[in-house]
Amino acid sequence: MRNFLSTRNIPFLITVLVCLALYTAGAFLFRGFATVSVFINFFTDNSFLGVASLGMTFVILSGGIDLSVGGSIGLTSVVLALLFEQRHLSALVAIPLVLGGGLVFGLAQGFMIQAFDLPPFLVTLAGMFLTRGLALLLHDSLPITHSLDWLSSLTLSLGQQTIPATALIFLIVLALSIWIAHYTTLGRNVYALGGNENSAFLMGLPVARTKITVYGLSGLCSSLAGVVYCLYTQSGNPNAGSGLELDAIAAVVIGGTLLTGGVGFVFGTLLGVLILGIIQTAISFQGKLSSWWTRILIGLLLLVFILLQRFLQSRPFGPALKPRKLTPIQR
């Protein structure tokens, strides 16, 4: 029990409580809120945000940040739509192609950050401009008439409810991310890197490789999020996912991952995404409040969570959550 309640778990536990509280409040306030179909919709409507947030989780766990996520989604969705509509490629060729592109793009960003010792903020900002600019140059928003039926028909039936393909992709990526983060060497290295880069380096961990891989993972996840966007909307849109990087960062932080890196759970990110989804759904159920309240509430929630993190890092809870010192590695 003591171990369970260690300082590392407290942000995560609070996330769980907030998520449950919000859901219960919604269920009591609105009729039809606590139904299975609404619950499935939390996953369906937030699937591309969710997939992108999972990639972002790894980046933030490693102590970095990735602003190129939204732009990547826009570029992927346009490229995919163009591959379908103008090149008439089959989904089996086109989707791996764009995923590969996303992976390479992410790896390239990671390489720039690692090899030239550049701030992740700037490199991924450039990535955001580049992807969004290329997407806008390529094409305006266009519908996908290419038959994606077989992909969309990959659903899972649970009694009377069906879980659509987009939600399934989200869940699969979630499972994979949990596996990578908590059960593989790569995952341990990511935590070590985020905890303290100097120590990780001195312990002989492959810091360079891990850092580049993390950005590669994020690139892969955001292009997959672009594919999910295409499935979800049946269209390619160069403006898809604009501002989504902020929502993704918010979801990760609300999910209990420390921004300084090294502390957090992948599962927390799912809860973060769900909390954003619950707020959005509750506001649409309420009907009177306008949609911009969503932004304000997300902002407030973000504020509460970062203050909470600071509070937990302060004195009475000991040094377990102290942020790492930002001294450059001496080589």
Partner 1 sequence: MNRDTWRKLQWPVIALALVLLFNLIFTKGFFHLEFKEGRLYGSLVDILNRGTPVALLALGMTLVIATGGIDLSVGAVMAVIGAMASWLITHGHPSLILVLGVSLGAAIFFGLWNGMLVGCFKVPPIIATLVLMVAGRGLAQLINDGQTVSFEHPSFEFIGRGHLFAIPFPVTILAVAFLLLGLFRQKTAAGLFIEAVGDNEVASRYSGVNPRQVKLLVYAVCGLCAGLAGLIATSNIMTSDPGSAGLNLELDAILACVIGGASLQGGRFSLAGSIVGAMLIQTLTTTILTRGIPDRLTLVVKALVIVGICLLQSHAFRRVFRRFGAAPA
Any idea what the Cα angle at residue 262 is, between residues 270 and 11, rounded to 5°?
Answer: 50
CB 62 within 8 A of CB 214: yes
H-type helices in the chain, by residue range?
Answer: 10-29, 36-45, 47-61, 69-85, 91-115, 120-138, 149-152, 165-183, 185-195, 197-202, 207-233, 244-254, 266-286, 292-313
Of 20, 203, 307, 329, the one binding partner 1 by CB under 8 A: 307
Nearest in space to 177 (alpha carbons), one of 217, 224, 216: 217
Give min distance, CB of 49 to partner 1, in A: 14
Is 136 one of the binding residues for partner 1 (CB under 8 A)? yes
Please give the Cα distance from 166 to 269 (Å, whole number): 17
Tell me which stretch binds partner 1 (CB under 8 A): 133-141, 147-155, 189-197, 228-236.
133-141
- Encoded amino acid at 280, one letter: Q
Whichever of 117 and 149 has its CB closer to partner 1, that residue is 117
Of 27, 104, 134, 208, the one binding partner 1 by CB under 8 A: 134
Question: What DSSP line would sit under 121-132, residue for residue?
Answer: HHHHHHHHHHHH
CB 214 within 8 A of CB 110: yes
Is 253 one of the binding residues for partner 1 (CB under 8 A)? yes
Whichever of 44 and 294 has its CB closer to partner 1, that residue is 294
Helix (H) or strand (E) holding 163: strand 161-163
CB 203 within 8 A of CB 188: no
Give min distance, CB of 307 to partner 1, in A: 6
Whichever of 20 and 296 has its CB closer to partner 1, that residue is 296
Of 100-119, binders to partner 1 (CB under 8 A) are 112, 115-119
CB 231 within 8 A of CB 148: yes
Nearest in space to 56 (alpha carbons), one of 11, 106, 15: 106
Is 49 one of the binding residues for partner 1 (CB under 8 A)? no
Give min distance, CB of 196 to partner 1, in A: 16
Number of residues lying near partner 1 (CB under 8 A): 41
Tell me which stretch binds partner 1 (CB under 8 A): 4-12, 19-27, 179-187, 297-305.
297-305
Is 310 one of the binding residues for partner 1 (CB under 8 A)? yes
Of 20, 122, 202, 320, the one binding partner 1 by CB under 8 A: 122
Whichever of 16 and 134 has its CB closer to partner 1, that residue is 134
DSSP β-bridge partners for residue 72: none
Is 298 one of the binding residues for partner 1 (CB under 8 A)? yes
Give min distance, CB of 236 to partner 1, in A: 16
Instruction: Quote the DSSP letter at residue 205.
Output: -
Whichever of 137 and 203 has its CB closer to partner 1, that residue is 137
Q: Where does this chain bind partner 1 (CB under 8 A)? A: 65, 112, 115-119, 121-123, 125-130, 132-134, 136-137, 246, 249-250, 253, 259-260, 290, 292-296, 298-300, 302-303, 306-307, 310
